[in-house]
Structure 1
Amino acid sequence: MQCKNPGAGPLIKREHFPFFIPAFLLFLICLPFFAPAQDAKIAPDSHSQDKLKIAILLPNDTPFWMRVLSMTEQAAEDLDVELIVYSFNLSPEKMRQMTREALDSDIDGLIFQAWGDAEKEVLALAEERKVPSILINNRMPDSTLKPRKQFKYWLGSITADDYSIGERLISGLSRFTHIHRTVDSHNVLAIAGEPGDPSSTRRLAGLQAYADRHPEIQQIRVEYAYWSEAEAGEIFEKAWMDNPDITEVWCVSDLIAKGVADKIAEMGIADPPAVGGVDWDTPTADYLESGQIVVSIGGHFMDGAWAVVMLHDYLNGVDFDSQRIEFDSLMITATPDDLTRYLPFFQLQPDGIHFDGRSLIRNPRLISHDFTLSEILNTDAVSEPLRLTAQEKAWLTANPVINVAGETNNVPFNYTDESNNSTGFAIELLRYVASQTGSQMNIIRSDSAEYLKEATAKGQIHMMPVINPKDTRPDSLLLSDNYLSLSQYFFSRPNTAQISRLQDTGNRTLAVPEDDEVLAARVSLIPELRIIEVPDLEAAIMAVSSGQADLLVSNYASVAWYLDKHFISNIKVNGLLTEYGNAELHMAAGPEAAPFMQVVNKALATMPASTRSALIYKWLRENSNDSFYAAEQISLTREERDWLKTKETIRLGDDFKTRPLSFLNKNGDFSGLSADFIRHFTRQLGIPAELTITKTSVPAEQRLKERSLDIMPALIKPLQPATDILYTDPYLLFPVVIATSTSQPPVNNLWQLAGKEVGIMNNHLAEKLEKEHADLTFRRFKTTGQAFSALSAGKIDAVLGNLAVISAAAADSENQSFAITGATGYADEIVIGVRSDWPEFVSMLNKAIAAMDMQEREALKNKWLRVNVEIGTDTLTIVMWALPATILACSVIFYIYLSNRRLSQAKAQISARTKELENTNQSLEDTLSELKFSQKQMLEQEKMASLGSLVAGVSHEINTPLGISVTAISHVEHLLAELEQRFDSNKVTKTFMQRFIKEAQEGSLATSLNLSRAANLVKSFKNISMDHNQDSVRTIDLDQYLNEVLTSLQPQIKKSGHEIVSGCAENIISETRPGAIAQILTNLIMNSLTHAFSSNEKGMITLHARQIGSTIELIYSDNGCGMNEEQLKRIFEPFFTTKLGAGGSGLGAHIIYNLVTNALQGTIKVESSPGMGAKFVICFPVRLNQTDNGVTD
């Protein structure tokens, strides 16, 4: 049976109803019995029965790619995958060939890298064979290609953010210089790979962006080492001779950084600049350890391994619709201080990191692929069992519960959190020890460290987690091995002069905590010091922030914890305290617990590096020096920075009753989602003002209108904004959901609530719902808790509210019999409210909101938002649901029946409308044809205008040599006439003949040279003009042809006063359309002369060409005014010009794009930013595909 017109007839025919209804109801009733188990994983196309075969295409066998291969092989081994390796030796053609070979060998997945435009063909070949693929170490240049959409089997890409790498590298170098040297300004030498290289270009852009935000970086000198270690050394030596004030050497790779470090050692520079690079190859570890390199950023050599994990999971049935398209590489910043932490990565032996631990198939607890550092280092690692002595085992048997000293405020090492639990880095170390020995921990807490020391010495407490050996303590206390060393720093308000010794504090006041015995002992030896004694570190921080003191001394992690707690952003690192060394942390035990002390030492010594790194990252790294250097991470205008300086205090207020958005914790501190977001925004903006939390009985929104409050952190954006409040862009969005009692049938949408009473919060959404849903009965409540109490008492049937608030209220309710059962189609947008006279602050906050990384945003949401969904149905529940399911099914069928009737009635209307649309379409096609013809005419006119300009220039240029020739010939003619006259009068003398011969020879030579010059101009013009008017393909020597084009354009260039420098590799023979090349260069140069340079500056244009495999790369750049983001987006649009009415047609760049992509069968990319000039990178094949018709319009 054929269906001639599918979809036009009834969905269910009337005569089939008696048979369909019973079958459909039976299906609904039986469906739950066939549902999969709650935790079952469905693999529709599982390959688990066979060993998977995955191929990887590598560009070459350089050290970096060998590191990629090494980690990829480890991942394949962990996941029992067969890995097939292909190397295409930087040849795009060979890359295509290797792809075909790999696909012919029946691989299950493909890992590849973008190279010379061959990646698009690789992608198409894999798609044709239905082989899933992943791009690594790069992004696909053509953003119109959509993973999992146009290309169903392209899973996405894993790549490093080169822009961010450039920023992080200079940030780390500047930080090192700031701590270890006293400099007024920073002079940076940047050594990149080669011009036009994508990674070098992006990393340099990140460097420049950082410098734009940091005025202390006054000079950046960019050089290119062409990936040569020796060349990098020579570049540094020359730059150092020119300027010995270089403070940082920013290197695009570790290879280049090592070349610079070796040269510095060879030159014997006493106070060398800070050197840093990227890639993390194995030898770099030695340079970091010696301090020759102080910053190295790496991790992207693991991209192939992550690709194996993703392909393994996809091929075993993981649904990728919920996964991201682009994954960030694991990028870590290593310094000499934390080298030990990351040494296994350098050695390609990351202890405890098993790639099967990142698989969603192997680890059902994981919900998505995440290759960020915090996730990787938290992978569970299995360590070897402890080797204990008989005495140690006996002690553990006799003491199954370990008594541990719990302090209250030794953050973040051993303290009591807001939930009244003991926690911190040292506490978690002991929990790890307990997990290895099977022991339990009992915390004995006290505010007095002295009491805890005494109790430990007496044996009442078995272990004190944190003690400094320089603190006073009972003599009988035993100390563990040192488990952590902390550098000590001076902290101050911004713009305080840098110091590194206590003796140098001068007339500044130092805040000294009473509980810091070591610091108190040191300052007592310097009687001239001005000090102020405070109870603890928290008080010292408040004293410096408020101006009561100028300096404090402590470690990064502790200070950062309090800065976050109190929203303080006007305290920064001042300098490293160099005279006393690091603070060493140990654990302490009494004599009776000596065996347990040995157990602790053994357990911590054998702790897997990944487990230790995870704890360090959690407690120390997240709250370390990054907090103090976040100032101006968002680019602010000078006016905005000046505005911030005028604000000493920013008053934050709220009603603090909306958990989890904004509330007060048990200690009375501002907490919740909005608190975390405000912390992030203030750090990113570098707000120097003190953020104070104000609480009064007056509603916060009223205080904000009256300007007695400056900001409200968590307002729901109103439908009608108040005129006396300013609102930021939304930083959170939550759907409005329906919550009902679990004892009632679930309600999935609003129309199911007709005739019922619905509780809703008394906010802006209430009015909208009441207006748009008059069939519902709404009752307004002040708080969500009141609404849930009414629901529990049966006074209302449902509660509406946003997902975050509803889920938190349901969880906090004493009666836990509530569930979120449906959505409403509405949503709450969470914004920051700002007082009406602060538009500058709204602008700054919007910048911070826009710049926030999606992963960071989701991480904060996941911290506070917990929605539990219970799945599973027993037999009784199935029976209870059968009747409602039957009613629902009948409703659905009746709806389908009515729909069929409506479809029949609509068919006649559709037929008439179709005829009308056909007529309209024909009219549109006619109009489109006319527009195309007009566009072609205008393009041809533009080409002829360009040719006319060329003719005028050449004509003007030819006039000069012809004029010189005419003058020379006239002079010779005059000499001949004089000779004839003297000969007739018999007056020819020897002197005259000598002059005659000399001047005649000079005139002849001048005529010959200038006529040759004119002939060459004519020849060049003839070639170029012929190429302008023909689309023929011919073979050219590219270097020679480019010189001819530039010669023909020399009149315009010379007239402009600007300079052009060209360089083309020799012996590039290309079978192409030279006319297109001539037109492209003409338009590019005229575009630079017209748009790039101001009238009072001398510009520079550079042109370089080289052959890469079967591709020619042409790089054109100028150092003109550059383009902003809007101009960059629209540059190739027809009729777009910045010189409208002043000679610009707006078609020059459009013609360039058409000529490159059509006539030359190539690609063109443009890079530019204001004040940084423009660069065009054009790639086209050495030999054209002759089947291409070469249409250029």
Structure 2
Amino acid sequence: MRLFIYSMYLCAFFLCSVAAVGQEPTVKHQAPPATTKLLCFYPHRDQFWIDILRYAQAAAKQLNVEMDTFNYSFDTSRIIDKLDQLRADNPYHGVIIRLYDKDSEIIMSKIQSLGIPAFTFNSEPPDIFYGPRTRYAMWVGHLSPDYEGSSMILAERLLAVARKKGLSSFDILAINGRKTDTPAIAYSSGIRKQISGVPEVNSINLVPGNWDSAVAANVFREEIAKNPKINVVWVANDNMALAVLEEAEKLGISKQVVIGGIDWSSDARNAISENRYHVSVGGHFFEAALTVIIMQDYLHGKDFTNQGINLSSGMLAFTSETRNQIQTFLDLPPDKLDFKKLSKMHTPRLARYPTDILEIIKITNPVSHDLNLSASESQWLIDHPKLSVGIDPNRFPVEYTNRDSQHLGIASDYLTFMKKSLGVTFTYTQYGTGPDVLQRLEKGDIDLLSATIRTSARDQKVHYTSPFLSIPIAIYTRSDAPMLATITQLNNRSLALVEGNDTEAIFRSQHPEITIIPVPSVEDGVRMLSQGKCDAFAEGIFIANHAIAQAGISNLRLSINTPYNHDFCMASQNSTLISILNKALSTIDPADREAWIQKWVSSRVDKVTDYTIVLQVVVVALLILMVFVYWIRRLSSEIKFRRQVQLELQVAKSTAEAANQAKTEFLA
């Protein structure tokens, strides 16, 4: 009978609890506040919590939220004292807090009495009978890391690294937190699930490390002495894992052991970049920022019950393969992220709050947002952090390599932008002829061509980006040959073209009457023309001019510009990569495009003047000038002669008049 009564009480309590779920709590501030003011309780100031607060403060500032913080130093009595102080004067509209088992009911009851909503985060999921909107209506929601999922990710990545290192069997040491802590229990479940059925696993030993670095180092030292075959070490957080790494380095066995932890701490990421540490699973540092956003929306009438009131944040593995994309995001100052894209107030079309860190990176990263990458495209970049790029070493200024094999030129500036925009790295492979590079693309030896032109031979086998650079194709002749007025003047004459080059494909298809002479390179083409072994040579104007200058050739000239251009694209067999590249290309500022061209092309190249015609014009002008000078000099002499005759006539006249006057006077 007593058991029946207890059962009835339990059912009644369960039904009341369920009925309470989803009900709107009575919030003290009915009207949305002009400026929301939140109080954030945090346990201590280590690097992880410093990062959490940086992102939370940046989100608060961007959403016009004032957020005060209170460090309770793992002493929950300080939280209680602070809440008691607020009973007399409470300036806050809401509280965000990390939940602990100890004193949690007392804390929630005090928040309830204040009449302000609370949102808990970065802690274990609450019990079904004791959680948001059950006993405490003002506890409106909870966000916890996916502890079991993160444990599985860490185990899976560690085993993948071990296989890559050539290990054929695994002896695993798992150093957890405290046995009774909910996260540690979930971690244990996750790693056991992940390794279940993995044939290479010889043994697993799960040992508590109590979240303490010194304890973890001691555990590792003792366990490795017992079992020297240990080659995989799973650790519940990065601080403990780095202490294990340091101990392994002291013992001289760090190269033999694969080590990883959880948190994405900056020290862990640096160790991965130095190839000392292998895996760090994280992303939950963003939970406080997301909590600020959800609370601000809630206080302005945007509830989240359609998504649930117990939310979980998905995490991601930071490894040598994924670090570029993740680090690009982490290198951005938090105030540069677009937190409004996570808010239902500012983004009305947002149906649900993104809680997975990969989703958050995509949405808040200003570069990723500008690119508007799909989920599959973002995942493709994570799965392919390193790309092999085929480059032409002799195509200045489009691209070329210097003596140190460094990739330079206009295309290199575009690839530098791509690296920053997409968070990938490139390895470069020099290629020779067109058929050679096509075979490499087909085999998968090359993921991408940095600068190429569409041809009919490749159209069926590769995908192209939109053109990012256009260079006019010109025809060159010797200086002693007549200038060309049209391309058809080369019919039945010889034209040198680089074999397998895009220019060759153009002329073979458009001008079959011209005799094509294939040459290995641009340099070979200009030398052949200079030596009179062909009638003309065609190539992109900047490319040919550079080759002529480098060869020190002075008897060639640009004879005619063709109607054709080199429209340079990037090319790949992977359509997803091409889609990503097109989105990145569309975000480049036109001023940057022009600057990259001007950087490698110091001056515009005009058509060379035909000096034979100039000489003829000059000779004619000189003849005219000589005739003009001759007539001027002749006219000047005649004027002088006439003046002399006139003077002599004047003198004769005067003499005659004087004689007549003398004669008259004598006769008188």
Give me the TM-score of the superposition, normalised by structure 1. Answer: 0.31
* Aligned residue type for 1:73: Q
Query: Retained in 2: the 8 A contact 1:190–1:249?
Result: yes
1:205 counterpart = 2:218 = no
1:65 counterpart = 2:58 = no
- Which residue is 1:82 aligned to? 66
Change (3 A) 1:182 1:91: closer
The CA distance in 1 between the partners of 2:47 and 2:348, in whole Å, is 36
- Which residue is 1:587 aligned to? 450
The CA distance in 2 between the partners of 1:197 and 1:146, in whole Å, is 17
- Which residue is 2:213 aligned to? 229
The CA distance in 2 between the partners of 1:467 and 1:116, in whole Å, is 52
1:307 counterpart = 2:170 = no
- Count of aligned positions: 404
Q: Secondary structure at the match of 1:337?
A: coil
The CA distance in 1 between the partners of 2:380 and 2:131, in whole Å, is 44
- Which residue is 2:161 aligned to? 176
- Which residue is 2:390 aligned to? 469
Q: Secondary structure at the match of 2:354?
A: coil
- Which residue is 2:227 aligned to? 243
Q: Secondary structure at the match of 1:328?
A: strand
Query: Retained in 2: the 8 A contact 1:193–1:200?
Result: yes
Q: Secondary structure at the match of 2:207?
A: strand
**Higher RCO (CA 8 Å, separation ≥ 6 residues):** 2
Aligned-residue offset at 1:324: 1.9
Aligned-residue offset at 1:474: 8.6
The CA distance in 2 between the partners of 1:254 and 1:583, in whole Å, is 36
Change (3 A) 1:128 1:209: same
1:130 counterpart = 2:51 = no
* Aligned residue type for 2:112: E
Q: Secondary structure at the match of 1:74?
A: helix
- Which residue is 2:596 aligned to? none
Q: Which structure is larger by alpha-carbon Rg, 1 or 2?
A: 2
Q: Secondary structure at the match of 1:213?
A: coil
Per-residue CA distance 1:82-132 (angstroms, 9 max, x = gap): 112122222232222223334542310111122243222222222333311
Query: Retained in 2: the 8 A contact 1:477–1:589?
Result: no
* Aligned residue type for 2:228: P
Change (3 A) 1:148 1:242: closer
The CA distance in 2 between the partners of 1:380 and 1:235, in whole Å, is 40
Runs of 4+ in structure 1 off by over 6 angstroms are 43-46, 423-426, 470-477, 513-516
Instruction: Show the 5 A alignment for 1:364-443.
Output: 364-379=348-363, 382=366
- Which residue is 2:179 aligned to? 195
The CA distance in 1 between the partners of 2:391 and 2:439, in whole Å, is 8
- Which residue is 2:439 aligned to? 517
Of the three residues 246, 258, 261, the one matched with 1:274 is: 258
Change (3 A) 1:368 1:126: same
- Which residue is 1:257 aligned to? 241
Aligned-residue offset at 1:242: 3.0
- Which residue is 2:309 aligned to? 325
- Which residue is 1:655 aligned to? none
The CA distance in 2 between the partners of 1:227 and 1:596, in whole Å, is 59
Q: Secondary structure at the match of 1:239?
A: helix
Change (3 A) 1:344 1:469: closer
Instruction: Show the 5 A alignment for 1:607-686.
Output: none
Change (3 A) 1:169 1:313: same
Instruction: Show the 5 A alignment for 1:891-1040.
Output: none
- Which residue is 1:120 aligned to? 105
* Aligned residue type for 1:130: G
The CA distance in 2 between the partners of 1:175 and 1:64, in whole Å, is 26
* Aligned residue type for 1:469: G
Change (3 A) 1:217 1:283: same
* Aligned residue type for 1:276: G
The CA distance in 2 between the partners of 1:425 and 1:249, in whole Å, is 29
Change (3 A) 1:255 1:382: closer
Query: Retained in 1: the 8 A contact 2:176–2:210?
Result: yes
The CA distance in 1 between the partners of 2:198 and 2:178, in whole Å, is 26
Aligned-residue offset at 1:257: 1.2
The CA distance in 2 between the partners of 1:583 and 1:123, in whole Å, is 59
The CA distance in 1 between the partners of 2:332 and 2:361, in whole Å, is 15
* Aligned residue type for 1:588: A
* Aligned residue type for 2:147: D
- Which residue is 2:79 aligned to? 95
Aligned-residue offset at 1:239: 2.7
The CA distance in 2 between the partners of 1:469 and 1:115, in whole Å, is 55
The CA distance in 1 between the partners of 2:134 and 2:212, in whole Å, is 41
* Aligned residue type for 2:201: I
Identity of aligned residues (%): 22
Query: Retained in 1: the 8 A contact 2:43–2:71?
Result: yes
Change (3 A) 1:47 1:383: farther
Aligned-residue offset at 1:285: 1.6
The CA distance in 1 between the partners of 2:177 and 2:125, in whole Å, is 21
Change (3 A) 1:209 1:243: same
Per-residue CA distance 1:704-745 (angstroms, 9 max, x = gap): xxxxxxxxxxxxxxxxxxxxxxxxxxxxxxxxxxxxxxxxxx
The CA distance in 1 between the partners of 2:379 and 2:51, in whole Å, is 36
- Which residue is 1:807 aligned to? none
The CA distance in 1 between the partners of 2:184 and 2:28, in whole Å, is 43
Aligned-residue offset at 1:383: 6.6
The CA distance in 2 between the partners of 1:153 and 1:97, in whole Å, is 19
Aligned-residue offset at 1:477: 6.2
Change (3 A) 1:250 1:84: same
Change (3 A) 1:275 1:349: farther
- Which residue is 1:152 aligned to? 137
The CA distance in 1 between the partners of 2:259 and 2:192, in whole Å, is 17
Change (3 A) 1:228 1:350: same
Per-residue CA distance 1:953-1002 (angstroms, 9 max, x = gap): xxxxxxxxxxxxxxxxxxxxxxxxxxxxxxxxxxxxxxxxxxxxxxxxxx
Aligned-residue offset at 1:240: 2.7
The CA distance in 2 between the partners of 1:311 and 1:119, in whole Å, is 20
Per-residue CA distance 1:1086-1137 (angstroms, 9 max, x = gap): xxxxxxxxxxxxxxxxxxxxxxxxxxxxxxxxxxxxxxxxxxxxxxxxxxxx
The CA distance in 2 between the partners of 1:472 and 1:63, in whole Å, is 46
Query: Retained in 2: the 8 A contact 1:249–1:275?
Result: yes
Query: Retained in 2: the 8 A contact 1:195–1:201?
Result: yes
Q: Secondary structure at the match of 1:158?
A: strand
Query: Retained in 2: the 8 A contact 1:323–1:368?
Result: yes
Query: Retained in 2: the 8 A contact 1:113–1:138?
Result: yes
Change (3 A) 1:587 1:87: same
Q: Secondary structure at the match of 1:378?
A: helix
The CA distance in 1 between the partners of 2:388 and 2:153, in whole Å, is 34
Give me the TM-score of the superposition, normalised by structure 2. Answer: 0.53
The CA distance in 2 between the partners of 1:357 and 1:178, in whole Å, is 40
Query: Retained in 1: the 8 A contact 2:339–2:364?
Result: no
Aligned-residue offset at 1:68: 2.0
Aligned-residue offset at 1:47: 5.2
Farther-moved stretch of structure 1 (252-261 vs 239-248): 239-248
Per-residue CA distance 1:852-882 (angstroms, 9 max, x = gap): xxxxxxxxxxxxxxxxxxxxxxxxxxxxxxx
Of the three residues 347, 362, 386, the one matched with 2:346 is: 362
Per-residue CA distance 1:377-431 (angstroms, 9 max, x = gap): 33265579x9xxxxxxxxxxxxxxxxxxxxxxxxx99xxxxxxxxx9989xxxxx
* Aligned residue type for 2:300: N
Give the gaps of 5 or more residues in structure 2: 1-26, 371-375, 382-386, 400-410, 419-423, 429-434, 455-466, 472-569, 571-576, 585-668
- Which residue is 1:460 aligned to? none
